Structure 1
Amino acid sequence: MNVKRRRVLLAGASLTALGVGQAQAQAKVIAVGVSLPLTGPGAATGITTQRTLERGVELINAEGIQIGPDRYTLKLSFYDNKYVPAEAVTIVEKMLADGTRFLISLGSGNSVPVVAKTTAVKALQMSYASGKAHLTSPDFPLSFRVAPTNETAYAVYPWLRATYKDVQKTGHMNPSDEAGFTESEDRRMIAEKNGFSNVANEYFKRGSTDFYPVATRLVNAKPDLIDFGGTIGRDQSLGCKALRELGYKGKIMLGYSDAKSFVEVAGADAAEGTLLFDTLVDPQNAQQKELQDWWLKKYGPPFPTFAYSAWDTPFILAMGMRKAQSTDPVKIAEAMRGAKWDGLYGPEAFGMKSVYGIDTSITRAIPIAVIKGGKPVQLTTIPWPADV
C-alpha cells in the first residue's frame, strides 16, 4: 500500500461517529476469522496481534473497500487457540463450517494443521508462522506467510558473518513442534552455507519451566552464538536465564519477542547483549510513528514491538481485494501472489518462489535490535537478499 493510500485511510479515521455508522450501514461485510493465542505461553504476542489488527481494520473500514459498485468492510472474529494445535483445528473447522473464507492465524503449530482444510474449501489463509512445504508450496496456493519467520535467516546469517568475526560455532534451541523443527532445519542449513559450524541442536517442550537440562547441553557444546529460532514468549526468557546462570558468555539471538517482557523475566543481566532479529524498537518512518503514537495513547507504555510485524496484514488483504476487484478468495490469492506494495517497512512483496516454488511468503527489510542496559536499542536494518 502506498503512502498516499495510507494517508487516505488515516484521514478517513477522522470521520464523525455518525458518518462512519452511516457509511458502514451501506457496506457489505467480509468475515475474517482470527485464530491466535490469547492465553498460554504465547498470550502476549496474541493480544498484541489482536489489538493491532483491530486498529488496522478500523482504518480500512473508515474508507471501505470498493469493488465495482459495491463497498465492503472487514469484520474480525477472534478465537483463542491457546497455542494448542487441537484447539486451532477445532476453531478453524467451526469457522469454515460457518462459511468464513478468510483466516488469519498466529503460530506454526496452529497454522500448519489447518492449511489442508482451508485449501480444500478454497479459503484464503494468512499466517504468522514458521513452515516450509507443510504450509507454503504450490499445493497450498491460498496460503500466505505475512511475517518473516525462519526466512529471516537468509538475511541475518550473512550479516552475522560480516559483523561478528568472533562467531564461528552456532547452537540452536527450539520447541519440539512444527515451528521448532522447521526453524531448526532452515537455520542450521543457512548457517552452514554462510560458513558457520553447527555444534548443538536442542529441543524443549513449549511452555516448559525447567530449561536447565537443555541449557546444560548447549553450554557444554561451547557455541559462540545460540539461535533460539522458533522459541517465543516466556520460553525465551527462561531459556536465556538458564544459559547465563550456567555460565554461558556467548551471544544469544532470538525474535518474535516483546522485548520488555523478555527482559523483565530473564533479568537485565541475563538479557544484556541479546540480539533480537526482526525487531523494530524505534520508529523509522511516519507510518511506524503513527502506529506507536496510537498505541501509547490508547494502551499506554510499553509499546510491544510485535505490533509492527502484525500491522500490514489487513491492509494486504484489502489490497488483494481491490487489485482482484473481487471477494472470491481464489481470485484475491491470484492477485496477491508475487504482488509488491509499500508497507510499514517500506518496499514489501510476496516472493520466495526460488525456495518454496510459489510467491506467497512476505519479503522485506529485517530490523535488528540489541539489549543494552536492560532496554532494546535499534542496531541496524538488513535489506532483503536480492538472490532469495
Structure 2
Amino acid sequence: MRKKLLSIVLISLLLLLAACGSQSSSNSESSGDSKNVIKVGLSVPLSGAAANWGITSEWAAKQAANKINEQGGVTVDGKKYTFQVIAYDNKYNATTGAQVAQTLINKDKVKFIAGSIGSAPTLALHTLTEKAKVIHFTSAWTPDIKGKKFPYTYTTLNTPREVIEPISTYILEKDHNLKKVAVINPNDATGTDTSAVSLKVWDEKGLEIVVEDYYERGTTEFSQIVTKILSKKPDIIDLGATPPGDAGLILKALSEQGWDGVKIIGAGTSADQLIAAAGDAANNVYLGLAPDFNSKIATDVQKELAKKANQELKQTLNAISMQSYDGLMAIKAAIDKTESLDPDKLIKALQEVKVDSSYGPTAFGYKATYGIAQQMLLPITITQIQNGSPVEVKRIIPKELEEKGIK
C-alpha cells in the first residue's frame, strides 16, 4: 500500500514539473545562461472582445525578442544578454490588471514592460512600474500616466491627442455641411479618456454634440441604444475607442435602422476584424489607427511580420499589435546606447535615441505636449473601408520627426 502511495506521489510530482516546464517555455523567447536573460513583461487582453489585440501583441513582442536574440542580444557591462517575453491576460479590466501587475513586478521581477493594453489595467500596472523604476511601454491612451512625474512610462502607439484632430479635420474639409455629432464609447477608462478628447475637438470645430453616451463592454444588443442616438439626428457618429467586435454590432444596428451618415472609429485599429464583424455595414467607416501592413507603403519589416502572423496565427496584425514590437526595439536602442540596465541611464537615453521601429527609424517626442519626450513619433494614418476593403486615404508624418532629421 505504501509503495503504491509513493508511486502516486512521484507520478504527481513529475506531472507538476512537466506542467511548470510547459508554462515556462510558452512564455520564453530566450537563449543562453538564465542569469543573462532580461525579462520583459506584457499585460494584454488574451480573451474577450479585445483578445485579437493581446494575442497579436504577444506574438509581435516574441518576434522582436527572437530577432534581437538571434543577432546576439544586447551587451551590458561587457556581458551578452538575451530577452525573455512573459505575457499575461489582463482581461481588459482593472481588477485583473492589478493582479497581472503584481505578478510581473513582484514575482517575475521584470525589468521592462514592452506592452500594455487598456487604460484601466495599464493604470494599475503604472502605479507599480513607476515606483519600481520598471520602464513601461504602452498603447494605453489615458493621459494620467504621462508627464514629468512619470519618467519611466512611454507610449508606442498614437493616442487621441495625435489622431482625433487630424481625422476630424480631414472629414470636415470633405463635407462642410456636417453640423451634429454623437460620441459613443465603452464605459471604462479607455472610453472616457477617448471621449474627453473627441468632445473637445468637435466642440472646438463648432459642431453641436447631440449625444455623449457609454455602453458596457460585453453588450450584444445595441438596437435600443442606436434608436436613442438616431432620435437626436446626428450627421456624424464617433465610436472612439469601441473595439471591432462591439463596433460591428453598432454599425449593423445603424444600418438596420437606415442611417447612412459619417461613421468614425478614431481608435479603429483592425479593419479586417471590423469588416468581419460588421459586413457591408462597415463600408465608408473612417479608422484612425488602421495602417495596412500588407500595402505598398508598409515597411519591409511590417510586410514580413504581417505575412508570418497570417500564416502562424491566422490573424491580421494591427497598430496595437505592433506597439509591443516597437517597445522591445526601443528597449534595445536604449541598452545599446548605455550598455547598462540602470533605469535612470536608460530613460535619459530614450529622450534622444533613434529607434529602429517597425515603421522605420523614429524617436520619442511631443515634449511640448507631455513635458518630456514620451510619445513615439509615428505616422498618423487615416483609413476608410471602401467596398469591403481598407484603403489608406492619407498618411501624415509628424513634423517633429522631420525636424529631427530622421528618415
Range class of TM-score, shorter chain: 0.7 to 0.9
1:141 aligns with 151
Amino acid at match of 2:304: E
1:305 aligns with 318
1:219 aligns with 230
Q: Does 1:317 find its partner at 2:349?
A: no
> Cα deviations across residues 196-250 of structure 1 (Å, max 9, x unaligned)?
4333211111121122333223222222222211211311111222222222211
Q: Is the 8 A contact 1:124 1:330 kept in 2?
A: no
Q: Is the 8 A contact 1:41 1:83 kept in 2?
A: no
Gap regions ≥5 residues in structure 2: 1-28, 402-407
Q: Does 1:88 find its partner at 2:97?
A: yes
Q: Is the 8 A contact 2:30 2:69 kept in 1?
A: no
Amino acid at match of 1:53: A
Query: Identity of paired residues, percent?
Result: 27
Q: Is the 8 A contact 1:367 1:380 kept in 2?
A: yes
The correspondence for 1:41, drawn from 49, 59, 63, is 49
Secondary structure of 1:257's counterpart equals coil
Q: What does residue range 166-315 of structure 1 map to in structure 2 within 5 Å?
A: 166-254=177-265, 255-268=267-280, 270-281=281-292, 282-284=295-297, 285-300=299-314, 303-306=316-319, 307-315=321-329
Shift of 1:143: 1.0
Structure 1: distance between partners of 2:336 and 2:168: 37
Mark the CA change 1:165 to 1:80 in structure 2 (over 3 Å): closer, same or farther: same
Gap regions ≥5 residues in structure 1: 1-20
> Cα deviations across residues 44-85 of structure 1 (Å, max 9, x unaligned)?
111111111111111011111123411111101111111121
Amino acid at match of 1:156: I
Shift of 1:313: 1.9
Runs of 4+ displaced beyond 6 Å? none
CA RMSD of aligned residues (A): 2.5
TM-score (norm: length of structure 1):
0.86
1:17 aligns with none
Secondary structure of 1:289's counterpart equals helix
2:391 aligns with 377
> Cα deviations across residues 246-289 of structure 1 (Å, max 9, x unaligned)?
22211111134332222222122x11111111211224132322
Mark the CA change 1:286 to 1:101 in structure 2 (over 3 Å): closer, same or farther: closer
**Max radius of gyration: which structure?**
2
Amino acid at match of 2:49: P
Structure 1: distance between partners of 2:31 and 2:218: 45
Q: Is the 8 A contact 1:155 1:385 kept in 2?
A: no
Shift of 1:324: 2.7
Amino acid at match of 1:139: K
Which stretch of structure 1 is more off in the superposition, 29-38 or 332-341? 332-341
The correspondence for 2:75, drawn from 66, 90, 103, is 66
TM-score (norm: length of structure 2):
0.82
Mark the CA change 1:252 to 1:338 in structure 2 (over 3 Å): closer, same or farther: farther
Shift of 1:107: 1.2
Aligned length: 365
Amino acid at match of 1:321: I
Structure 2: distance between partners of 1:299 and 1:22: 21
2:62 aligns with 54
Mark the CA change 1:51 to 1:320 in structure 2 (over 3 Å): closer, same or farther: same
Which stretch of structure 1 is more off in the superposition, 110-119 or 336-345? 336-345
Mark the CA change 1:143 to 1:309 in structure 2 (over 3 Å): closer, same or farther: closer
Mark the CA change 1:96 to 1:273 in structure 2 (over 3 Å): closer, same or farther: same
Shift of 1:347: 5.0
The correspondence for 2:350, drawn from 317, 336, 350, is 336
Structure 1: distance between partners of 2:354 and 2:139: 19
Amino acid at match of 2:318: T
Shift of 1:23: 7.1
